[in-house]
Amino acid sequence: MKHDTHDIDRRSLLAGAAAVGGWIVLGSHGNARVKVHGELSKNDGKSSSRTLVLLQLTGGNDALNMVAPYADDAYAAARPNLRIKPNEALKLDDFRGLHPNLKGMRALYGDGRLAIVEGCGYPNPIRSHFQSFEIWHTADPRGRNSGPGWIGKLCDSAWPKVATPEMVVHVGATAPYSVFSLTHPPLAFQTPATYRWAGTESDDLVAYRKAAEDDAKTLEKAHKNGQDAMLRRLRGVLVDANESSRKVRLATGCYTTTVKYPDDDLGESLRVTAALLDARLGSRVVSIEMGGFDTHQNERGTHDNLMKRLDDALTAFMTDMKSRSIGNDVVVVVFSEFGRRVKENGSGGTDHGEAAPMLVLGNQVKGGLHGKHPSLTDLDAGDLKFTTDFRAVYGTLIDRWFGADQEAVLGARYPTLEFLT
Amino acid sequence: MSNIISPFVLSLIAALMPIGDEIVVETSAQATVAQAVEWNARNAEHLLNRAAFGGQSSDIEAAVALGQDVLIDRLLNQRADVEVPFVEPIEEPSARALKELPDDEQKRIKRDVTDRDRRQQLEYVGWWIERMTKGNDPLLDRMTLFWHGMFTSSVEQVRRSYPMIRQSQFLRTNALGSYSALLSGIARDPAMLLYLNNTSNRKGNPNENLARELMELFSLGVGNYTEADVKEAARALTGRATTRTGEFEFRAKQHDGGEKTVLGVKGKHDGDALVKIVLEQDACPRFVAKKILTYFEGVEPDTARLDEYGRFLRENSFEMKPFLKKLFLDPAFYRDEIVGARVQSPVDYMVGVARRLGVEAPPVMLGSGAALLGQRLLAPPNVKGWDEGPTWITTSSLMQRGNLAGLMLGIVRMDDVLNQADLLAKEADAPLQDGTMQDSEPMMSREQRDEMTKRLKSGKKGGFAYEALRKTQDSGWAPTLNFTARLQRLGLASDDAIVDYVLDELLAIRAPNDTRAKLRAFMTNERVQLSIRDGHLLEAGPAAEHVLRRLAHLVLSLPEAQLM
């Protein structure tokens, strides 16, 4: 299996990376005394320090109540109880408005730092959470049968020789498949402070490190499956863990900011994200997740609350990013596995749907509306038809943000969107 | 001599040949030939790992002596006589009654209800974990866990422990019975109806949630039904609801009694008719067989094997016992690709470590530990249940597993996990290279450290599990464990013998030679530091015991300890 050779490459590369690695300053605000060992930036132009924050809204966000076509009669008719009324909407133009709790997002929109790509989806939509996520995560209708997640494919294509363990980080318990890769596996941790192994004596730590190293002679004949292959993979994880645990704890523990992040999981995840990016550990992609969007019943109160939490946390993050040098190198993309049915159901909720807008935020983003709003009357079994393939958003990020080649990652070329200049 | 190779010779070849990619001796086709696997320690341990919750080497020896058939028969048919815990609905007084009371009193009552409900939940999880650890009906517990991950509901959404525990007991009662009974029961199970919003699935206003997951995740899989089927199935399920205390209730007025067409079958279907139609689909036994095989083997079955097992399940009316018996006797279940190659789930890890160590860890410690590692019983993350396999291991969860093992060994404390001393210490191993002065101040201020600790305790991101673990530790629990005495009893004294013993006893797999060599070097180094000659370590008393526990901690923290 080809992953095995990559795996070997990665291991030998890890050793090499340490040799060419440099020392970089951690923290741009008063923490300059803290030094961390990090990746020496490759001089490959403006894209060399750019990062992407992927925020996944799990459960199927009701995007029609996030960016609401308040002036559309079809919207009002389909949602007598659930709709965002014209007097509630934070108007973007005379047709659409943001959910009333997205005040921070409305301000960012006014600032030109929020781009809304409307009607994102893909052909032959699937209304299963899990299968639809697989398509979003792999950018391929075959899902995980097509190989690693799209971020894994991006790393393989854009930075094949860089083996910084912090290249891809998921802040949370279980990483989504988008960051799955055997060659560039993600770091994942929920609480940075406990991201360490508590060996009781220093000899233990030495032995713990050593045990993670492969003895080439023992495992070189590892089968593609089976115990040896699995062992080798887990040893790779342990090498990464040992290398990164201290760096990550330092970066997050020492991070100071005047911005008050909300005291909830998303706020904490974004604070950790800011700290990691500010430390410039070589992270290219940070993945985070917010759950609770599967609003089949009594949606309005639940969704209002979700929108408020999303707005509070993202606003804090974007405020923080505005005052930091790293800020110009960060783009946030917000996505969900599908939108929800146009017509509300009998339980004051909505069932699984199809197309939905994606949000792109950043200092370097060309704000405003992109793509085309789907029709609320020309529907596919009650659901919005997509107008922009979500892979065009990925493709634009790959080409324009990372200076890589979307065809190598996505296996095809999609129209370039103008949310990045 | 005929040129037909006897099964016995085949199995010898399998044992002797290094199996490369092109040499596959035990294929599905051959598995249909009644060919028994050689019943040895490797295979007995494999069966105990996957069908039960692992065991000590004495358990494995006993399993070998018992023989494969008898062991499988016991797993399937020997029930433990256990009393199930008492559960009751814990309800707030009605809103009207509450309103009459002063604010303080209202708050107190609400808090009291929450606390009692939480306690009932923890007690039940503790009881279940204890069943697994004691291990006198392990296959029943294993299958209950499997169904819990397939017919998923979560107390996070259901909100109350009573229906969740009742669901768990329902799964347990039928865990080794027939899948049809399980599917039929789960489609009217109060916790499931609450979890998937069927309580508001009404005539004229259908809610698709249960209908969709019933076909997608519980019985058929995507591609084996249409969107129209989902809509029609939702109509069939209208009216299935719960009472206020969480009992099943059929609301006839809300049921849509009209004609529907589900999966091509026309009729005035209700929920039971829907289940019947689903069970008759060809996709159904294949879907269930695939789920079970993938769970027990860790890899998806190939098409030939899936055909065979799907057909068998159908022919045996979805009964679990013959199905599992066939699987546990199948030589393919014992092939190299599978044995020792499955990542242990957090429950497997916590329960397995306790069992292999022979430590009586408080169930709440094991349950909270598993929760911290991503598997909170009664609260799977979503309706698909837990993603089994390699996804259990992240950089951070791998380290946490070691820390939890250290806790069970009594040499790591919760404070050690949270302690950031290595950050507070001066940067000895990372000299600055740009010529700036090295600051003598600690890396992290006291305020920053306090803030970090506070965040951990705030109940967010697993804070609750940390709190439970801390409480267990503060209650003064310590493991009853004496490695020194065990080794003395066995007459093992040399570094090599000690390392071999600890590896064989504590791992669910056979350790590779390089691991053995590295740990022997560790052991020798520690002994030399104590100025003791090889073969005499055990004479060092508490110092020896400390070294042995550190060795055990190391072993249980390794990638090798995550596999089974």
The DSSP call for residue A323 is T
B383 shares its domain with B504: no
pLDDT exceeds 60 at position A7: no
User: Cβ separation of A229 and B341 shorter than 8 Å?
Assistant: yes
Residues B464-482 have a mean pLDDT of 86
Most confident of A18-27, A182-191, B338-347: B338-347
B351 shares its domain with B401: yes
Lookup: tokens for B116: 């009692």
Q: What is residue A17's predicted lDDT score, i.e. its pLDDT?
A: 35
C-beta neighbour count of B259 within 10 angstroms:
11
C-beta neighbour count of A29 within 10 angstroms:
13
Task: Give the residue on B whose Cα is nearest the Cα of A225.
Answer: B337
CB-hemisphere CA count at 13 Å for B156?
A: 11
Lookup: tokens for B414: 């919760």
B363 has a chain A CB within 8 A of its CB = no
pLDDT exceeds 50 at position A32: no
Lowest model confidence (mean pLDDT) among A69-83, B79-93, B173-187, B445-459:
B445-459
Task: Give the residue on B whose Cα is nearest the Cα of A201.
Answer: B550
The DSSP string of B429-495 is TS---S-PPPP-S-SS-HHHHHHHHHHHHTTSTTHHHHHHHHHHHHTT------HHHHHHHHT--SH
Task: Give the residue on B whose Cα is nearest the Cα of A344.
Answer: B205
Lowest model confidence (mean pLDDT) among A37-46, A312-321, A347-356, B87-96:
A37-46
Query: CB-CB: which of B202, B339, B519 is closest to A346?
Result: B202
User: Cβ separation of A233 and B390 shorter than 8 Å?
Assistant: yes
- Residues 478..537 of B with a Cβ closer than 8 Å to A: which? 509, 512-515, 517-519, 522, 525-526
The verdict on residue B291 lying in a domain is no
Q: What is residue A41's predicted lDDT score, i.e. its pLDDT?
A: 37
% pLDDT > 90, chain A? 74
Q: What is residue B470's predicted lDDT score, i.e. its pLDDT?
A: 83
Lookup: tokens for B463: 């804070």
The verdict on residue A147 lying in a domain is yes
Query: CB-CB: which of B212, B398, B453 is closest to A237?
Result: B398
- Residues 189..248 of A with a Cβ closer than 8 Å to B: which? 189-191, 193-201, 203-204, 207-208, 210-212, 214-215, 217-219, 221, 223-231, 233-235, 237-238, 240-241, 244-246
Span B225-253, pLDDT tens digits: 999 999 999 999 999 999 998 999 999 99
B2 has a chain A CB within 8 A of its CB = no
Q: What is residue B419's predicted lDDT score, i.e. its pLDDT?
A: 73
pLDDT exceeds 90 at position A54: yes
User: Cβ separation of A238 and B398 shorter than 8 Å?
Assistant: yes
Residues A366-371 have a mean pLDDT of 97
Instruction: Please give, rounded to a whole number of angstroms, the shortest distance from the CA of A221 to a CA of chain B.
Output: 9
B368 shares its domain with B462: yes
Q: What is residue B464's predicted lDDT score, i.e. its pLDDT?
A: 73
Q: What is residue B413's predicted lDDT score, i.e. its pLDDT?
A: 87
B175 shares its domain with B255: yes
The verdict on residue B293 lying in a domain is no
Residues B393-408 have a mean pLDDT of 95
pLDDT exceeds 60 at position A61: yes
User: Cβ separation of A223 and B518 shorter than 8 Å?
Assistant: no
Mutation target for A interface from B231, B437, B461: give the one with most A CBs within 10 A: B461
B242 has a chain A CB within 8 A of its CB = no
Q: Which residue has the higher pLDDT, B435 or B120?
A: B120
Lookup: tokens for A356: 């939905």
pLDDT exceeds 50 at position B107: yes
B280 shares its domain with B240: yes
The verdict on residue B455 lying in a domain is yes
B248 shares its domain with B200: yes
Query: Chain B residues with CB inside 8 Å of A351's CB?
Result: 207-209
The verdict on residue A379 lying in a domain is yes
Residues A252-259 have a mean pLDDT of 88
B369 shares its domain with B238: no
B345 has a chain A CB within 8 A of its CB = no
B11 shares its domain with B54: yes
CB B247 within 8 A of CB B190: yes
Instruction: Please give, rounded to a whole number of angstroms, the shortest distance from the CA of A415 to a CA of chain B.
Output: 30
Q: Which residue has the higher pLDDT, B276 or A1?
A: B276
**Phi and psi of A24, rounded to 5°?**
-125, 160
C-beta neighbour count of B11 within 10 angstroms:
18
Q: What's the whole-model pTM score?
A: 0.86
Q: What is residue B21's predicted lDDT score, i.e. its pLDDT?
A: 41
Span B408-440, pLDDT tens digits: 999 998 878 877 767 765 443 444 334 333 443
- C-alpha closest to that of A114 among A122, A104, A124, A129: A104
User: Cβ separation of B390 and A230 shorter than 8 Å?
Assistant: yes
Lookup: tokens for B314: 């159908």
Number of independent structural domains in chain A: 1
Q: What is residue B461's predicted lDDT score, i.e. its pLDDT?
A: 53
Q: Which residue has the higher pLDDT, B417 or B216?
A: B216
Query: CB-CB: which of B200, B338, B391 is closest to A174?
Result: B391
Span B531-559, pLDDT tens digits: 999 999 999 999 999 999 999 999 999 99
Mutation target for B interface from A213, A227, A232: give the one with most B CBs within 10 A: A227
Query: CB-CB: which of B382, B452, B466 is closest to A253?
Result: B452
The verdict on residue B33 lying in a domain is yes
3-state secondary structure A11-38: HHHHHHHHHHCEEEECCCCCCCCCEEEE
The verdict on residue B83 lying in a domain is no
- Burial label for B7, CB within 10 Å (0-12, 13-18, 19+), is middle
% pLDDT > 70, chain B? 86
Query: CB-CB: which of B230, B417, B563 is closest to A230?
Result: B563
Number of independent structural domains in chain B: 4
Q: Which residue has the higher pLDDT, A182 or B154?
A: B154
Residues A210-216 have a mean pLDDT of 78
User: Cβ separation of B418 and A194 shorter than 8 Å?
Assistant: yes
Q: What value does the mean pLDDT of chain B take?
A: 88
pLDDT exceeds 50 at position B317: yes
Provide the CATH number for the domain around residue A84: 3.40.720
- Residues 61..120 of A with a Cβ closer than 8 Å to B: which? none
Task: Give the residue on B whose Cα is nearest the Cα of A206.
Answer: B522
B350 shares its domain with B256: no
User: Cβ separation of B395 and A268 shorter than 8 Å?
Assistant: no
Beta-carbon pairs below 8 A across chains A and B: 258
B141 shares its domain with B270: yes
% pLDDT > 70, chain A? 86
% pLDDT > 90, chain B? 76
Burial state string for B213-242 with b = 16 or more CB within 10 A and e = fewer than 16 = bbbbbbbbbbebbebebbbbbbbbbbbbbb
Instruction: Please give, rounded to a whole number of angstroms, the shortest distance from the CA of B322 to a CA of chain A.
Output: 27
Query: Chain A residues with CB inside 8 Å of B416's CB?
Result: 198, 200
The verdict on residue A415 lying in a domain is no
User: Cβ separation of B341 and A226 shorter than 8 Å?
Assistant: yes
A5 has a chain B CB within 8 A of its CB = no
| DSSP bridge partners of A335 | A56
Span A112-167, pLDDT tens digits: 999 999 999 999 999 999 999 999 999 999 998 899 999 999 999 999 988 899 99
Q: What is residue B425's predicted lDDT score, i.e. its pLDDT?
A: 56
User: Cβ separation of A351 and B397 shorter than 8 Å?
Assistant: no
Query: In A282-383, which ranges are continuous DSSP H helix?
Result: 299-322
Lookup: tokens for A84: 């965002």
CB-hemisphere CA count at 13 Å for B48?
A: 31
Task: Give the residue on A whose Cα is nearest the Cα of B422.
Answer: A246
Query: Chain A residues with CB inside 8 Å of B466's CB?
Result: 194
Domain that holds residue B324: 7-78+299-334
- C-alpha closest to that of B249 among B287, B201, B308, B313: B201
Q: Given pLDDT bands bounded at 50, 70 and 90, which one contains residue B444?
A: low
Lookup: tokens for B156: 């996070």
Instruction: Please give, rounded to a whole number of angstroms, the shortest distance from the CA of B78 to a CA of chain A.
Output: 32
Mutation target for B interface from A36, A169, A190: give the one with most B CBs within 10 A: A190
Task: Give the residue on A whose Cα is nearest the Cα of B411.
Answer: A200
Query: CB-CB: which of B204, B394, B417 is closest to A194?
Result: B417
Task: Give the residue on B whose Cα is nearest the Cα of A226.
Answer: B337
Any idea which residue has 């803290």 for tokens?
A34
Mutation target for B interface from A126, A170, A171, A237: give the one with most B CBs within 10 A: A237
Task: Give the residue on A whose Cα is nearest the Cα of B423.
Answer: A250
Q: What is residue B28's predicted lDDT score, i.e. its pLDDT?
A: 46
Domain that holds residue A366: 2-410
B267 has a chain A CB within 8 A of its CB = no
